Amino acid sequence: MGREVLLSLLSVLAFWSVWVVKAEDAYKYYTWTVTYGTASPLGPSQQVILINGQFPGPRLDTVTNDNIILNLINKLDQPFLLTWNGIKQRKNSWQDGMLGTNCAIPPNSNYTYKFQTKDQIGSYTYFPSTLMHRAAGGFGVLNIYARSVIPVPYAKPAGDFSLLIGDWYKSNHKALQQVLDSGKPLPFPDGILINGQSRSSFSGDQGKTYMFRVSNLGLSTSFNFRIQGHKLKLVEVEGSHVLQNMYDSLDVHVGQSVTVLVTLDQSPKDYYIVASTRFTKTVLTAIAVLHYTNSRAAISGPVPSGPTDDIAWSMDQARSYRWNLTSNAARPNPQGSFHYGKITTSRTIVLANSAPIINGKQRYAINGNSFINSDTPLKLADYFNIPGVFSINSIQTAPSDSSNKLATSVMGASLHEFIEVVFQNNEDTIQSWHLDGYDFWVVGFGTGQWTQASRKAYNLVDALTRHTTQVYPKSWTAILVSLDNQGMWNLRSAMWGRQYLGQQFYLRVYNPTPSLANEYDIPNNALLCGKAVGRRHP
């Protein structure tokens, strides 16, 4: 009888353990088919990229620690990949979806992504990482909601709107690629879209509060976001809960996402939602409508103007973003429990962007290196120990006076290093930088040349973490990064034309002792290409 009771008890425990795992770490399955289609976002009909017939693509709503199993079927006439902008891919750069980590999915073929939204919350996006596909669509929203057991620092809003905003071209993505391949920079865009449209509408009830998740999915242009007559309460930036300051408008740079709460506390009518380009000679403007459900009047009058082109205004706003040190993060602990400002950095890396002419063509570079993709993903070459694809430390950790060159640039780093990275922008255009696999503390902005004395102005107490940061013209931005995620990670200009023409490299975060505690093994469905063809999976 005792044995039967024990077996029964073990069965119950096994049931509940399985239930708990499933409750906390749900699996969500998707099948997405990528095709060409036709749309008219700026008037004339043009070819766009659809996912399951949608432009933009489907909204992917997940919860912290969800396991995503997504089968992507490529029906285009070119190889295709998606990358998950801001998803850390913990121990799993195999799923990052960049050409340095994955083979592109051939036409009429498929690949199944398998990744977890591990210990993350917030507003994110996905988009194509191949060629200039991003200029045609294939992008969408990826929201990660907090688990029910983890409180967030605001009341549940009455509604939740996602706004994908970005510059847009009437030219076909292949035509834009030809412009870049011919050695010319991208032309000025033709307009701005909000959720793939030139005019969209969002409805809400007077007196209620709504969440607006605003992402810049454009190719090259920063924008200012504002809602006529309404204040924007900033609550989250790329996974970080922030001090809830009120703003009249917010600058959002390429690749960035912000989340605001807006209370519909004005008289019942319709109001302009505006996004206009920043730091451009010609100002492009997109308009949407905030519609009160009891509205008595349509939008009218002039469109509310944005801030001037004064860089200091934007930099001061960026400095005002502060981490909410007492708020829970994706786990039940305060965000500020990791005291980043008290950790000694192992080294400083200074990265200077430039726009050199190499072999008679426009290129973009970091520390004199203009990146060229290998036909073999660097991650596969590293795993299979394939020679001749890349070499470690093939890019310098500081700018020099040496000539510019084309290279498949990889910088080596050790797992658990804590580093300082300075983005030095000596050009007269704004820059935007993104690091896959991580978020980082943005501790300082400044004008002119960064020096060691610049550290005196760092915020070492409550700087927020994010995955993309702007660098103002003739200025610098400093970040701190805890390299706790092993893998091969892309560090790039978020401005896609600059990325395409070489302003990127890969950071190889490595531990010489193989361990599944540090990094997952190669997936059994990994696509093989280049010199990795014919290699045997484990």
DSSP string, 38-85: EE-TTSS-EEEEEETTBSS---EEEETTPEEEEEEEE-SSS-B-EEEE
pTM value is: 0.94
Residue 280 lies in a domain: yes
Q: What is the DSSP letter of 147?
A: P
- Domain boundary pick from 149, 167, 191: 149
How are beta strands 418-425 and 347-354 bridged, if at all? parallel
Amino acid identity of residue 421, one-letter, is V
Distance of CA 519 to the CA centre of its chain: 22
Number of domains in the chain: 3
Total count of residues recorded for the chain: 538
29 and 75, same domain (yes or no):
yes
Please, are residues 463 and 323 in contact by the beta-carbon 8 Å criterion?
yes
Instruction: Please give the pLDDT value at position 515.
Output: 95
Closest CA to 159 of 58, 260, 294, 299: 260
CA dist., res. 253 & res. 246, Å (int): 19
370 and 439, same domain (yes or no):
yes
174 and 138, same domain (yes or no):
no
- Domain boundary pick from 263, 295, 323: 323
Helix count and strand count (H, E) for the chain = 5, 35
Please count the CA atoms within 13 angstroms of the CA of 526 that sit on its side-chain side.
Answer: 27
159 and 127, same domain (yes or no):
no
Structure tokens at 266: 């004005």
Distances (CA, A) of 11 to 1, 20, 321, 417: 15, 14, 51, 44
Residue 6 lies in a domain: no
Please, are residues 454 and 476 in contact by the beta-carbon 8 Å criterion?
yes
Instruction: Please give the pLDDT value at position 402.
Output: 85
- With a CB cutoff of 8 Å and minimum separation 6, the contacts of 161 are 202, 210, 211, 212, 213
SS3 27: strand
Instruction: Please give the pLDDT value at position 309.
Output: 86
CA dist., res. 224 & res. 222, Å (int): 7
DSSP per-residue codes, 238-253: TTEEB---EESEEEE-
Structure tokens at 175: 């035509």
Please name the residue ranges forming H helices in 353-503. Answer: 378-383, 496-500
Rounded CA Rg of the chain: 23
503 and 393, same domain (yes or no):
yes
Closest CA to 247 of 192, 160, 306: 306
SS3 233: strand
384 and 455, same domain (yes or no):
yes
Backbone angles phi, psi at 452, to 5 degrees: -60, -30
Q: Look up tokens 């799923």; give the residue.
A: 95
SS (H, E, C) 98-129: CCCCCCCECCCEEEEEEEECCCCCEEEEEEEC
Q: Where in the sequence is the domain holding 501, given as residue range(s)? A: 340-532
Please, are residues 307 and 214 in contact by the beta-carbon 8 Å criterion?
no
Residue 1 lies in a domain: no
- Domain boundary pick from 100, 125, 149: 149
Instruction: Please give the pLDDT value at position 24.
Output: 57
215 and 273, same domain (yes or no):
yes
Distance of CA 513 to the CA centre of its chain: 30
Closest CA to 186 of 452, 531, 406, 498: 498
Structure tokens at 127: 């988009």
Distances (CA, A) of 488 to 86, 88, 92, 383: 15, 12, 9, 10
Structure tokens at 184: 């010319």
pLDDT tens digits in sequence order for the chain, 538 residues long: 454 444 444 444 444 444 444 455 899 999 999 999 999 999 999 999 999 999 999 999 999 999 999 999 999 999 999 999 999 999 999 999 999 999 999 999 999 999 999 999 999 999 999 999 999 999 999 999 999 999 999 999 999 999 999 999 999 999 999 999 999 999 999 999 999 998 999 999 999 999 999 999 999 999 999 999 999 999 999 999 999 999 999 999 999 999 999 999 999 999 999 999 999 999 999 999 999 999 999 999 999 999 988 899 999 999 999 999 999 999 888 999 989 999 999 999 999 999 999 999 999 999 999 999 999 999 999 999 999 999 998 999 999 988 899 999 999 999 999 999 999 999 999 999 999 999 999 999 999 999 999 999 999 999 999 999 999 999 999 999 999 999 999 999 999 999 999 999 999 999 999 999 999 999 999 999 999 999 986 6
- With a CB cutoff of 8 Å and minimum separation 6, the contacts of 525 are 111, 112
Residue 17 lies in a domain: no
Please, are residues 359 and 370 in contact by the beta-carbon 8 Å criterion?
no
CATH assignment at residue 256: 2.60.40.420
Residue ranges with strand state E in 86-222: 109-116, 122-128, 140-145, 159-168, 191-194, 201-204, 209-216
Residue 330 lies in a domain: no
475 and 440, same domain (yes or no):
yes
270 and 306, same domain (yes or no):
yes
74 and 169, same domain (yes or no):
no
Amino acid identity of residue 144, one-letter, is I
Backbone angles phi, psi at 491, to 5 degrees: -115, 120
295 and 356, same domain (yes or no):
no
Residue 486 lies in a domain: yes
420 and 395, same domain (yes or no):
yes
